[in-house]
Chain A
Amino acid sequence: MRSAVLDPGGTTTPPLARRIAALLLLALTSVTLLLVATPARAQGPVASATAACVADAATGCIVGTLRTAAGEPVVGAVVNVTGPTGELTATSDATGRWSVAVTEAGEYEVTLDVATIPAGETLRDPGNNPRTVAVGLGASQAALFPLGAPAGGGGGDTDDEPSDSPTTDTEGGAAVPETPGSTGSGVTAARVAQLTVNGLVFGTLLALASVGLSLIYGTTGLSNFAHGEQVSLGGILAYVGTQVVGLPLIPSAIIAVALGAATGWLQDAGLWKPLRRRGVGMIQQMIVTIGLSMAISYVFQFFFGAGPLRIVTDTPTSVSIGPVRITTTTLWSLAIAAIVLGGVAFFLLGTRAGRATRAVADNPALAAASGISVNGMIRIVWTLGAGLAALGGVLIGLYFGATSWYSGGALLLLMFAAVTLGGLGAAFGALAGSIVIGLVVELSSLWIPTDMRYASALVILILVLLVRPQGILGRATRVG
């Protein structure tokens, strides 16, 4: 099946045409970057994405960020929303953000529960609470509640104010998600250090998710578009464990990972092995993964709604190391991720099963002839990959403060970027690629707006394919 994947079919490129093509794309990219960099606003030191409400065809979002008069994020404040969808509640996360997903367009009344904001804080404009916002499907609407001394007269922000206008996100006001308060200014050493650490953390957690994607591709040749849902599954199972069943975090995370791995086993046994036996082609199987991804993500939304799901509700404590702030949860996550990734490396390099896995990835026919059970190895890879994805989902959910039906789907393309960057199918390439992608995503927010930083990783993906299609660590085989 490997040979079918590496079906050669490309011409050798004339070097001149290739160089011109490279130049063209580079020029275009730099123009785009320049264009978007000009209006870029400096972002706050802690700029992490929230796996919160994602607006799509069937969902609209009401969002906001709560900050105290001193500009600190307000954690755990409760916002109630009533309207056509019904009664909804949101709690602000570690960065002060909250979001509510609605499934019907219309007018919603948004109330900030003033009992839940920190003692001593008051609304700058009490007359604006509750307030009414109009939401359309597929859109995000900000509902801002500035805290601070009550202002005489019109201190409130109007509903239709552009979400990034300078007046809304400074001076203890509030900002909409993805553009956290603008306190930093330009490129400072402290910001670079913070973003580098963020990037390394994000990259390591991303690696947990991408290694499975890469292993599955390596052994079966399948680009699994449903891998993002395996990541969401981990996060959602951990949420069910802690918030629905009421278990402590660690047992519920372990159960989530075990169940995640079990779904990998079941998927291979119930779906992929029969498809391989039927001789269903790779492209067809890829489209099957797309259908599966759609079905699973809407199943999540069906049962858990479109809102953010907080795995733990208490505020994480953070420590300062030099100029860098990092939460203790993140430090633990990092340690767990490093140990697990080390374990995977040991498995691949030091055990018989791992060597057999790599043999299958290299040449399934030869591996089968050498007495290796190819299907058995593929089963192990699916189980391992899904388990790693589930662990990644739990840790990413903890890192971003919440998980959701879309938390894995949003990362899917970053995982593909990481895997392609490292070389499709090379497990260690996926690790290296993930770290690079993590750094690119975080550091690019020095120059481009935070809400565009995932795009930077995807631009890198396209550039890599242009210059070195086999990736950083991939073998220089013909891929065309």
Chain B
Amino acid sequence: MDWTRILTNVAGEFFAPTTAAYALAAIGLNIHFGLTGLLNMGQAGFMLLGAYGFAIATIAGWPLWAAVLIAIAAATIFALILGIPTLKLRGDYLAIVTIAAAEIVRLVGRSTALTELTGASSGLRGNQYKDTFQDASPFDDGTWALGPFEYAVNASNSWWIRIVGWLVVALACLLVWLLIRSPWGRVLKGIREDEDAVRSLGKNVYSYKMQALVLGGVIGSLAGILYVLPRAVQPDSMGRSMTFFIWTILLLGGAATVFGPVLGSIIFWAVLAVVKLTLRDVVPTTILRSEQIEQFGWIIVGVALMVLIIFRPQGILGDKKELAINAH
């Protein structure tokens, strides 16, 4: 068994673009759930909308900044549409509506009726929309190697996407840190703990919840862009399971904390990589086929989510007293 290779691959997961994208999506969900107590079960829908918005605008010839703005606008509108009917209702209604809305986005996106726009179920290929992002790189083309990690500087799964991705994650962490300490963040936390008390203080709870939903959704849409830049926009890979992975990441790292989502994402992808790579090396393919190893990994994720929420709902970094999950 080749431990060096496995460890190198696992260490590569620590700063992979996918890890950054999931961390960012979990930061968005943290604003929904960790700060405000909103049960958003459709974070993948925000990501998919962001990805579609960015990719379609870029393919239409829009510059990078405009395409990102389109993604942000799409997520904002989506959040408003979701929030208007549900933010006044009980938490589990929001859960059902968001999961349904995310599914609508996916079903509409993969429909053959929109093939020209979204590429239907085969999606949009990465090199149709990657160029503006790659051209924005200040570095020369080539490959850089840092120890065992060697990636292209600008193309596809590159150092450039890693730098930008983790920079955005760092900025989002800073934002959450500032928000938690701000008067605005205190109102959100108040809503999470006791909505009626906040309302009795004269705050417009509905409006605060809506702002949180929009902000977290916008961060989700940026995560969606980050997620699809090194690959393709494929609606079926951004469905319900993706939302559930983001939830696992958030609960693993610790909801209502600044670095919980980042730590959660790193651990999530590293552990998955360890499990899969080890199984692939140890177990002969006659016993476990490669797709079964993949599925085994997801079974572990499901069980981990159950165990986490029962025994340690505050996650690794969280404080149990801080987060009363059942406030609503």
Residues of A within 8 A of B (CB): 4-7, 9-11, 13, 21, 24-25, 28, 32, 36, 39-41, 54-59, 85-86, 103-104, 136-141, 162-164, 176, 178-179, 223, 275, 278, 280-284, 286-288, 290-296, 298-299, 301-302, 305-306, 409, 413, 416-417, 420, 448-449, 451-452, 454-455, 458-459, 461-462, 465-466, 469, 479-480
Residue in B closest to A60 when the chains form the complex, CB atoms: B236
Q: How far is the CA of A461 from the CA of B102 in the complex (A)?
A: 13
Which single member of B107, B115, B205, B292 contacts A164 (CB below 8 Å)?
A: B115
Chain A nearest CB: distance from B172 CB in Å? Answer: 23
Q: How far is the CA of A277 from the CA of B141 in the complex (A)?
A: 61
- Determine if B236 and A413 form an interchain contact, defined as CB atoms under 8 angstroms apart: no
Q: Select A292's contact among B100, B103, B292, B302, beta carbons within 8 Å.
A: B302
User: Counting chain A CB atoms within 10 Å of each CB, which of B93, B97, B237 scores highest?
Assistant: B237
The distance from the CB of B283 to the nearest CB of chain A, in whole angstroms, is: 13
Contact A138 B123, beta carbon cutoff 8 Å: yes
Are A164 and B294 in contact, CB atoms less than 8 angstroms apart? no
Contact A299 B299 (CB under 8 A): yes
Cross-chain contact of B85 among A4, A6, A25 (Cβ < 8 A): A25
B42, chain A: closest CB distance, angstroms: 11
16 additional A-B pairs beyond A140-B236, A306-B291, beta carbons within 8 Å, are A10-B90, A56-B241, A58-B294, A103-B289, A138-B236, A162-B115, A163-B121, A178-B112, A284-B310, A286-B95, A293-B302, A294-B305, A295-B306, A416-B100, A449-B112, A449-B113
B89 at the interface (CB under 8 A from A): yes
Convert B112-139 into 0s and 1s, putting 1 for each residue whose CB lies closer than 8 angstroms to a CB of A.
Answer: 1111000011110000000000000000
- The smallest C-beta distance from B185 to any residue of chain A, in angstroms, reads 20
Name the distance in Å between A210's Cβ and chain B's nearest Cβ. Answer: 13
Residue pair A55, B113 in contact (C-beta under 8 Å): no
Partner of B90, one of A9, A86, A164, A413: A9
A-B CB proximity, top 5 nearest: A295-B302, A103-B291, A281-B326, A291-B305, A294-B302
Please indicate the chain B residues that have their CB under 8 angstroms from the CB of A164 in the complex.
112-113, 115, 120
Q: Is B299 touching A302 in the complex (CB atoms < 8 A)?
A: yes
B96 in the interface, Cβ–Cβ < 8 Å?
yes
Q: Which of B104, B108, B195, B304 contacts A9 (CB under 8 A)?
A: B195
Residues of B within 8 A of A13 (CB): 88
B residues adjacent to A (C-beta < 8 A): 39, 41, 81, 84-86, 88-93, 95-97, 99-101, 103-104, 107-108, 110-115, 120-123, 195-196, 199, 205-206, 232, 234, 236-237, 239-242, 244, 247-248, 251, 289-292, 294-296, 298-299, 301-307, 309-310, 313, 325-326, 328
**Chain A residues in 8 Å Cβ range of B248:** 291
A to B contact number (C-beta, < 8 Å): 222
Q: For residue B234, give the distance in angstroms from its CB to the closest CB of chain A.
A: 4
Q: Shortest distance in angstroms between A413's beta carbon and chain B's nearest beta carbon?
A: 5
Take A40-B113, A55-B121 as given contacts and tell me if A480 and B241 are in contact as well, using a CB distance cutoff of 8 Å. no
Query: A136–B124 Cα gap in the complex (Å)?
Result: 12
- A residues less than 8 Å from B292 (CB atoms): 302
Interface-centre pick from B84, B108, B306 (highest chain A CB count, 10 A) = B306
Contact B92 A36, beta carbon cutoff 8 Å: no
Residues of A within 8 A of B107 (CB): 451-452, 454-455, 458
Complex Cα gap A164–B104 (Å): 20
| Contact for A291 among B95, B121, B205, B302, CB less than 8 A | B302
**Which of A301, A302, A480 is close to B88, meaning CB atoms less than 8 Å apart?**
A480
Known: A288-B306, A302-B292. A139 touches B96 (CB 8 A): no
Offer 10 A-B interface pairs, CB within 8 angstroms, sorted by A: A56-B237, A223-B92, A287-B305, A290-B305, A294-B305, A296-B302, A298-B296, A413-B100, A454-B103, A461-B97
Q: Would A284 and B325 count as touching, CB distance under 8 A?
A: yes
* A275→B113 contact, CB < 8 A: no
The answer to whether A11 and B91 touch (CB under 8 A), given A36-B113, A281-B326, is: no
Partner of A11, one of B90, B110, B199, B310: B199
Contacts of B114 in A (CB 8 A): 36, 39
- Contact call A162/B120, Cβ cutoff below 8 A: yes
The answer to whether B104 touches A459 (Cβ under 8 A) is yes
Instruction: Verify A275–B310 contact, CB threshold 8 A.
Output: yes
Residue from B81, B123, B247 within 8 A of A139 (CB atoms) = B123
Query: Using Cβ atoms and an 8 Å threshold, which residues of chain B touch A409?
Result: 240
B247 touching A290 by the CB < 8 A rule? yes
Cα(A458)–Cα(B90), bound, Å:
18
Q: Which A residues lie within 8 Å of B239 (CB)?
A: 56
Q: CB < 8 Å: which of A85, A223, A286, A294 contacts B241? A: A294
Residues of B within 8 Å of A281, CB to CB, are: 325-326
A480 touches B90 (CB 8 A): yes
In the assembled complex, the Cα of A24 lies from the Cα of B111 at a distance in Å of 24
Q: Compute how far the CA of A176 lies from the CA of B199 in the bound complex, rounded to whole angstroms.
A: 54
In the bound assembly, the distance between CA atoms of A2 and B118 in angstroms comes to: 44
